[in-house]
Each structure stands twice: as C-alpha cells, then as structure tokens.
A and B are shown apart, each in its own frame.
Chain A
C-alpha cells in the first residue's frame, strides 16, 4: 500500500466517524422536532458551512488529478444533483424505520445496499466512475466488514 493510498484509507475511515457524529446530532434534533425538519435544517446549515470552507480553503478549482485523470472542466448538469438522492434517503428511511424492519433492520439493509451498489458500480463503471476489477480480496474485505457491521447494529446500543 503506497503512502497516498494509506492516506485515502484513513480519510475514508475518518469520514465514517464524521458520519456517526452527524447522525447522532441529527437524531437529537429529530427528537426535539422531526426527521424531515432535522434533515432540512442540517442541509441548510451544512450549505453555509461548506460555502465558508470552500471560500477559506479552496478558492481555485482543483488541478488535474493523476489519480482520477480528471481536471477542472464543465461538469454535466447531473453532477450537481447528488443532493437529491441523498435527501430522498431521509424520507424513505423514515418509512422503513417506522415499519416492522425497525432501526436495526433498516440500517443493516441500507449498508448492504450501499456495498452492492459500490460493487456493481465499480464493476460496470456506472455514473462515469472508472471501471474497476473487483478482486476476491475486495469481496472478502466487504464480506467481513458487512457481517461485522450487521452484528454491531443488531447488538443494539
């Protein structure tokens, strides 16, 4: 594993930690209000915070990246619409959580869906992602992490 790749790994795991902190804070807010309002408020505040970060840290567009082969260029319109499926999740997961699936079942299935999507998307290069060969090792890692995650989610707080 090269140094750059180790940094990407560490960043991705740190991203997961941020996601837990976000989920916990939003759950507190949803407890005082409701899930839809909590997500709406988090998106609004998140937009302001992200804009401040972009102004402070990233005044220029990125230089061409050797890892992805992309550079600053006009992006197709749909590149800007990632927020819509993300926001849709808030509404649909509220339906699933309030059903007989409950929170644990919903989260376990959502994690499974993410990994299935990632595998198919890499394999076939969906949504302009570079096509990647899925190795046996990738599958073994995914299986361990998914099984462990389901145990953690099912094990309750």
Chain B
C-alpha cells in the first residue's frame, strides 16, 4: 500500500516535471512549439511502449468525437507552458488544479441534471476561498492603511 501511495505521489511529481520542462521550452521556442514537442516526443515514447507490449485494442466501434481529447490536449499544453514560467510551478499548479476540479463539478452537474453532493459543494467553497485569499488580504490591508493617509511611514 505504501508503495502505491508513493507511486501515485510520484506521478504528481512527474506531471509537475513535464509541465515545468514544457514551460522552459516555451520561453525559448514559444508555447505552441512547446506543445508540438511535448506531443511528438510523448507519441514516439508511447509508440515504443505499444510495440513492446504488443497490445492493440479493437478500435472499429470508436466514435470520432472520442478523439477530441487530442485537440484539448494540444491547447492545454500550449496554455500551460505559457503560464508556468510566468507564475511559477506552485501557483500555476494550484490554479490549473482549481480550474480542473471546479469545471469537473460543473460538467458533472450538467450531465446529471442535479446539484453536487454536499461534500463536493464544501470542496467548491474551499477552492474558491483559496483563490480569493490573496485578493481578500490585499483589500483588508488597504483598509488598514486608508483611514490615516497623513500618517508618515
């Protein structure tokens, strides 16, 4: 079990590593070219894995729409590579995760035509609270400064 926990955590580290490296490349070559390289290199790597494992599923019944992930992925890597070096790995990761989990709740809501479970709503509130914390604290600090504008620092 401990091994599996470490494996899943390590997966998160790999995701961060991949996005950081793509971010570095984007500072030299631009975000769109970083996305091209990410996908070409990943494709070659996975092709090699497929060749070694020799697993080839039956793809005849697959609807074309199921391939839309490639389009979203190309856009995602470009956007993410652009913001990663600008915001830093920590802030960029936190913001991407926020957009990810909030949109997942909204999409589930629409698909099921029902409000999310209370535990998920509590999660949404916590994420939104986290995102507004910097703005809230800045406003509070401003209010502390404004009442006495004549005071010298």
Task: Indicate whether A and B interact.
Answer: yes
Interface of A toward B, CB cutoff 8 Å:
1, 8-9, 11-26, 28-29, 32-34, 36-51, 53-54, 57-58, 61-62, 65, 67-68, 70-75, 78-93, 95-96, 99-101, 105-106, 109-119, 121-122, 126-130, 132, 134, 137-138, 140-157
> In the complex, A93 Cα to B13 Cα: how many Å?
12
* Complex: chain A residue closest to B96, CB-CB: A16
B41 x A116 contact (CB < 8 A): no
Contact of A82 among B41, B46, B93, B108 (CB under 8 A): B41
> In the complex, A78 Cα to B21 Cα: how many Å?
8
A93 x B95 contact (CB < 8 A): no
A15 x B127 contact (CB < 8 A): no
* Complex: chain B residue closest to A92, CB-CB: B11
B25 x A15 contact (CB < 8 A): no
> In the complex, A49 Cα to B47 Cα: how many Å?
18
* Chain A positions within 8 Å of B30 at CB level: 54, 58, 61-62
Nearest 9 A-B pairs (CB), nearest first? A113-B12, A16-B99, A45-B70, A144-B130, A148-B126, A151-B123, A83-B42, A83-B41, A117-B16
* Known contacts A15-B79, A106-B8, A152-B105: A46-B22 contact under CB 8 Å: no
**Nearest Cβ in chain B — how far from A127, in angstroms?**
5
A29 x B66 contact (CB < 8 A): yes
Contact of B127 among A12, A25, A127, A144 (CB under 8 A): A144
Contact of B11 among A33, A44, A96, A115 (CB under 8 A): A96
> In the complex, A62 Cα to B81 Cα: how many Å?
13
**Nearest Cβ in chain A — how far from B70, in angstroms?**
3
> In the complex, A47 Cα to B38 Cα: how many Å?
8
> In the complex, A11 Cα to B26 Cα: how many Å?
15
A148 x B29 contact (CB < 8 A): no
Contact of A143 among B39, B83, B95, B130 (CB under 8 A): B130
* Known contacts A19-B99, A47-B40: A109-B5 contact under CB 8 Å: yes
> In the complex, A147 Cα to B41 Cα: how many Å?
34
* Complex: chain A residue closest to B121, CB-CB: A155
